[in-house]
Amino acid sequence: MKTIGVGLVGCGTVGSGLVRNLSEANRLLQQRLGVSLELRAAAVRDPSKQRADLPVSPVGDWKSVISNPAVQIVVELLGGTTESLEVAKAAFAAAKPLITANKALLAEKGSELIPLAQQARVPIYFEASVAGGIPVLKALREGLVANQLLGIHGIINGTCNYILSRMAEEGSDFADALRQAKELGYAEADDRLDVDGIDAAHKAAILCLLGYGFLPPFAKIPIEGIRKLEAQDVSFARQLGYVLKLLAVVRPVGPDRVEVRVAPTLIPARHPMGSIHGVFNAVSLVGNLSGPVQFTGRGAGPDATSSALLADLGEAARHLRDQSPGPVLSAGDGKRRLLEPGESVGRFYVRFEVRDQPGVLAQIAGIFGTEKIGISSVLQPEGHGADSVPLVFLLEPAKESALQKAVAAVQKLPLNRSPARILRVEDLA
């Protein structure tokens, strides 16, 4: 049985989980794939730190790991996009397959990284970059390869899902739910990547790459986090039969455009994705042949992520043993482009704070009518004080540019009391 040498660059929480689970998983890989893995070198930021589980003496210079002739596969777990990009380039130059969990690297630097890998004929494996232990990328690459994808929807940030679950179940406001998430270790001290939707957008870009062969320019993806959500919107959504989730959406629009966005979104409470609570993730793929397929599981954590890393290690080792090239990754043929936000068509939830007086509903409905936007439901809660009241509209499908024009007109009226809250609605039919 051939033994494949592994070099690890970065050994934080995820790397430690990989090392801890490697020996047990290796026995299964030997039985099932006929390959054996051995960790032969590791680079860490602080080599003096005690690491009881690490079977090799760590070094501070990652270049020595990649140049080590005993290392045949490089695992990059540094995070970020600067040093990790240099690690990837060095692995390509050494003709050694790269395994990474680094979603930011792929989403933000993929247009530079992928051509370099193609030129060097070196495969990149990145199952762990999206949804932790859920094998959704392998499903896209292999299981649904004969399908035309009609859409991808994902709850792919566990921190945000935990916060929204607490807001829905306990009536907490955002600040209290975030505080609880930090106390339990579900949110970092610097919560911006999670709460502001950036982490989910990185993953959405990768889903777009595998689903549609198109890596969207990351800076142009519309991203909205959950920081501005209020408890009353979570409550109103429930009254309308929906739950609020931070949802990533990737879908084709016509023959040459792809819509990619991340935003807090109302989804039907009765839909299977509406029951995904806490730190769990879910990804729904809709194929023209398969129909809807949903994956659910732990989207983060050292064990779930190491599951994906070890699967990639097994695949890479098998390709090396068989002297096969491994998966070829392409950034696309340049024929597709990202849908502009104003061109997006969908349903919307809009909440106004308005003066409590007769005729308000008629005035606002008239403005929506002028923009040819239909109204499917109206919610007029009572008991919010004499001066102003919330007025909630659930709208029929409309172009986003038309909606923004209508909302701007309403907000110019004397009856309007504060900026409108606009949320997406996805029926997931």
> Active-site residues: which are they?
203
Comparing C-alpha atoms, which of 262, 264, 245 is closest to residue 208?
262
Q: How far apart are CA 10 and CA 23, in angstroms?
A: 19
Report whether 50 contacts 36 (CB < 8 A): no
Tokens 């807090």 locate to: 264
Q: Is 288 left (phi over 0), alpha (psi -120 to 50) or beta?
A: alpha
Q: How far apart are CA 274 and CA 157, in angstroms?
A: 15
**Amino acid occupying residue 278:** G
Report whether 156 contacts 300 (CB < 8 A): no
Q: Which stretches does DSSP call E strand in 234-336?
A: 242-253, 257-268, 280-287, 291-298
CB-based contacts of 241: which residues, under 8 Å, 6+ apart?
A: 268, 269, 270
Indicate the burial class of 256 (C-beta count within 10 angstroms; 0-12, 13-18, 19 or more): exposed
Query: What is the distance between the terminal CA atoms of the chain, rounded to a whole angstrom?
Result: 49
Determine the 3-state secondary structure of 351 from DSSP: strand
Report whether 345 contacts 397 (CB < 8 A): yes
Q: Is the dihedral of CA 196, 199, 202, 206 positive or negative?
A: negative
Q: What Rg, from alpha-carbon coordinates, does the chain have?
A: 24
CA angle (168 as vertex; 199, 429 as ends), nearest 5 = 70
Indicate the burial class of 53 (C-beta count within 10 angstroms; 0-12, 13-18, 19 or more): middle
Q: How far apart are CA 96 and CA 425, in angstroms?
A: 45
Instruction: Tell me the helices (H) and strands (E) count for the chain, helix number first.
Output: 13, 16
Indicate the burial class of 227 (C-beta count within 10 angstroms; 0-12, 13-18, 19 or more): middle
Tokens (6 digits) for 133:
């232990």
Tokens (6 digits) for 173:
């406001």
